[in-house]
Amino acid sequence: MTQKTDVPDILAIDCEVAIEAAAAASDDSGESTLPRFSMVAYTGGPIRTLGFAYPVVVNLDGMKIPAQRRPVRFQHSAFEGVGHTERIAVEEGQLVADGVVSRDTAAAQEIVASGKKGFPWQASIGASVDELEFIKRDVAVTVNGRKFNGPIYVAHKTTLNEISFVDLGADQQTQARIAAQHHKETQAMPDHTTPRGTDTDVAASDNGQAHDPAPNTPPSPQRNGAIAASDPAAEIDQITARARAESDRRQRIQAMTAEVLAQRPELADDLGRLAHAALEAGWKPDKYQLEVMRLGRSYEGVGGPRPQSERIEGSIIEAALCIAGGLETQALEAQFNERTLDAASREYRHGLGLCETLLIFAQANGYRGFGRSDLKGLLQFAFTDVQAAGFSTMSLPGILSNVANKFLRAGFEAVESSWRDIAALRSVRDFKQVSSYSLTGGFVYEEIAPGGELKHATVGETAYTNQAKTYGRMFGIDRRDLINDDLDALTAVPRRLGRGGALKLNDVFWAEFLNNAAFFVAGNNNYADGAGTALGIDALTQAETMFLDQTDPDGHPLAVAPVILLVPNGLYVPATQIMNSTELRDPSSTKKTPVANPHAGKFRPVRSSYLSNPKYTDASSLAWYILADPADMPVIEVAFLNGQQQPTVESADADFNNLGIQMRGYHDFGVAKQEPRGGVKMKGEA
């Protein structure tokens, strides 16, 4: 039996080759001809490969050769070309190629010169794998005219991309390797693999079948514990994912290089060497981008200013940090437009860390240090204004503050906010005490005689005051966070700080609301107690009547109806049942009573955990309230400085002595009770 999977993949196939690199000769006209080469690139047998638990056979019948003229390179580098092929064919179960050394590069000259001296060059074929099959143990398969026994992998469909000269390959016994590239430059290769540029040998039997070193023992699992190699399908998926990531990494580096070269051709030589190093060393595109920025800085004054196409928008880095920090999708889409989110996901596909962010800014200012091992220098350069360095809309303190504020807001909004439903919200310009006046009385229209003048209304004598105060905390991102590249210091800590700000606002608000012994009192006609005040139809009727019977200071009815039913947690279910039920029935009663619910849908239930919390004065699990719409007649008000309803995080000056980043979070608000006529309190008990 076989297991089959259709998966795109990129593999570099290093194979035994026979190369004839002839010196340049002259034709009959005396014109110099180009050196030629010929090679047997793959003999069709099994090869032991990096990342695979068993040997791999490439099915040459399924190899697609898009064109006879394919690029020939050195070590797969697009910047070290050698020449091109003129003929590629499958002959007698082998892949063969002939071509010319048509590039005038140092690599091409070295290959020709050393070939003349007998150096045994090898070849590596770059191909995409479109179909990979795992053949189980003791199952036979015929590929390339030969029979092989499992366990083994068969690459049934591939597409040839290019061929490269390499100096290290297999031995003379049809030994070879397929390099499944790893994409993270900071991630060590698994112990069962060997670094790129070395060989893993497989002894071939008489029939060309590679011997399994331990035929009765299942392959050991991957060292990272993610997927056991004994699951071939899962292993194929794992290999495919690594190869796809490697292909994406190479394409992004090459595309980035082409874009920079188009703008700054003076960087060609150095950029070519830098790109080759990035491709071979497994650099992430982000690291390569930083090195390109450093290279560009070293050419300042030579190639002119950095082109606009290379400028980095601060919003993209900001979005990348928010994505890496796990900000909820809804919050991301509310804070950033689609173009910014797409750019952040594309440019920082593998995430963006805190230290890497600092390095982006520091290197933009000419930093040439060693990052985490030179934190003082890193911070000094990073916190310098980078506008002159060719970036747009980019300020490190601003970006750190913006990112922290977004996570702070997420933490702030995750906390109960019932206060919003019952309070009037007000914006104040400073910390001075402000006054507001009762909305009742003094504004009733009067009849105007013909030719008479309108009389001024009076705001009345009842005034309510409020005053914003500042509440806040400091927090720091210290050297341990930077060394560990701990993004939580910029995301989780502000989220907790946001939660702390919300808890403080709730604490101040509900302490003020519940301290109402002089506010909800019988003398104000807005309070009742007794067993009959327990939440129910009759008690609701009593509370509503009390509210509607209220009058303004001139003795006129308020003509305002209550709309909010405020209850503690324990009464929320009964409150919603009463509001949602259209009928009320008492099976034990023999009296004829109406069944229609007179209060169905009349009030909007709002609950708060603070109403019954014993920490607060006059808290009760039985008391409940009916309130007017706060826009019409608020019983309580929250004033925010400049209308800022969430806390704010700001980056303070970096404390270079402590090698960290200092930030502060603060919130400016004030809470005060307002109009007693705007609500009624029912004690709910005797």
Q: CA–CA separation, 87 vs 110, rounded Å? A: 23
pLDDT in tens, 548-568: 999 888 788 888 999 999 999
Contact 415, 608 (CB under 8 A): no
Average of pLDDT values for 196-218?
Answer: 34
Any domain includes 343 = yes
What distances in angstroms separate CA 189 from CA 9, 35, 196, one per listed residue? 19, 38, 10
Name which residue leads in pLDDT, 173 or 466.
466
Per-residue pLDDT, averaged over 468-481, amounts to 80
Q: Cα dist. 532→351, 524, 536, 542 in Å? A: 61, 20, 9, 9
Residues 204 and 260 placed together within one structural domain of the fold: no
Q: Please check whether residue 113 lies inside any domain of the structure.
A: yes
Listed in sequence order, the residues at least 6 apart from 205 whose beta carbon sits closer than 8 Å to its beta carbon are: 211
Is 76 part of any domain? yes
Q: Are residues 527 and 572 in the same domain?
A: yes
pLDDT at 684: 96
Q: Is residue 508 part of a domain?
A: yes
Q: What percent of the chain has pLDDT over 90?
A: 28
Domain boundary among 353, 386, 411: 411
- The SS3 call for residue 606 is strand
**C-alpha to C-alpha distances, 640 to 120, 145, 426, 663, nearest whole angstrom:** 78, 81, 6, 22
Structure-token pair, residue 350: 């593998």
Quick one: tokens of 176? 């070879």
| DSSP helix/strand/coil, 144 | coil
Does residue 260 share a domain with residue 235? no
pLDDT of 1 over the 50 cut: no
Residues 161, 261: one domain? no
**d(Cα 65, Cα 78) in Å, to the nearest integer?**
19
Whether 613 is covered by a domain: the verdict is yes
pLDDT (0 to 100) of residue 181: 32
Highest mean pLDDT out of 89-103, 364-378, 459-473: 89-103
Residue 297 tokens read as 């800085």
pLDDT at 574 over 60: yes
Contact 611, 619 (CB under 8 A): yes
| Domain coverage including residue 621 | 418-447+458-585+596-686
Task: Quote the number of domains for the chain.
Answer: 3
Same domain for 492 and 387: no
Look up residue 578 and give its two tokens: 């009463």
Pairing between β-strand 604-608 and β-strand 564-568 as defined by DSSP bridges: parallel
pLDDT of residue 147: 92
- Please check whether residue 591 lies inside any domain of the structure: no
The whole-chain average pLDDT of the chain stands at: 76
The pLDDT of 30-56, averaged and rounded, is 73
For residue 390, the model assigns a pLDDT of: 43
Cis peptide leading into residue 151 (ω within 30°): yes
Q: Which of 324, 323, 311 is nearest to 393 (CA)?
A: 311
**190 plus 317 within the same structural domain:** no
CATH code where residue 617 lies? 3.90.1690.10
Tokens matching residue 322? 């928010």
pLDDT at 215 over 60: no
CA angle 667, 672, 675 (to 5 degrees): 145
581 and 638 share a domain?
yes
Q: Which residues contact 122 (CB under 8 A, 6 or more apart)?
A: 14, 15, 16, 17, 165, 166, 167, 168, 169, 170
Q: Are 607 and 546 in contact (CB under 8 A)?
A: no
| Beta-carbon count within 10 A of 604 CB | 15
Packing angle, helices 285-298 and 232-263, rounded to 10: 20
Rounded Cα distance, 349 and 288, in Å: 14
Say yes or no: 393 and 516 in one domain.
no
Q: How far apart are CA 558 and CA 541, in angstroms?
A: 18
Of the candidates 651, 631, 644, which has an alpha carbon nearest to the alpha carbon of residue 475?
A: 651
In a domain, 73, yes or no: yes
- Whether 515 and 673 have beta carbons less than 8 Å apart is answered as no
Is 55 in the same domain as 132?
Answer: yes
Bridge partners, 558 (sequence order): none
Does residue 194 carry a pLDDT above 50? no
Among 373, 424, 363, smallest CA distance to 674 is for 424
Q: How many residues does the chain have?
A: 686
Residue 503 has pLDDT above 80, yes or no: yes
Residue 258: count other Cβ atoms within 10 Å of its Cβ: 11
Encoded amino acid at 476, one letter: G
Between 294 and 329, whose confidence is greater? 329
- Sequential DSSP letters for 388-406: GGT-BS--HHHHHHHHHHH
Are residues 287 and 163 part of one domain?
no
- Of 4-8, 324-328, 360-364, 412-416, which range is least confident? 4-8
Residue 452 domain-assigned? no
Highest mean pLDDT among 95-104, 151-160, 429-438, 603-612: 603-612
Q: What is the CA radius of gyration of the chain?
A: 38
Unique residue bearing structure tokens 């040459």? 60
Segment 407-416, tens digit of pLDDT: 888 889 999 9
pLDDT exceeds cutoff 50 at 229? no
Token pair for 509: 């608000």
* The pLDDT of residue 182 is above 90: no
One domain, residues 81 and 201: yes
Same domain for 83 and 23, yes or no, is yes
User: How many percent of the chain have pLDDT more than 70?
Assistant: 71
Convert the pLDDT of each residue in 330-355 to its tens digit: 889 888 999 899 988 888 877 788 87
User: How many C-beta neighbours within 10 Å does residue 224 have?
Assistant: 10
In tens, the pLDDT along 519-538 reads 999 999 999 999 999 999 99
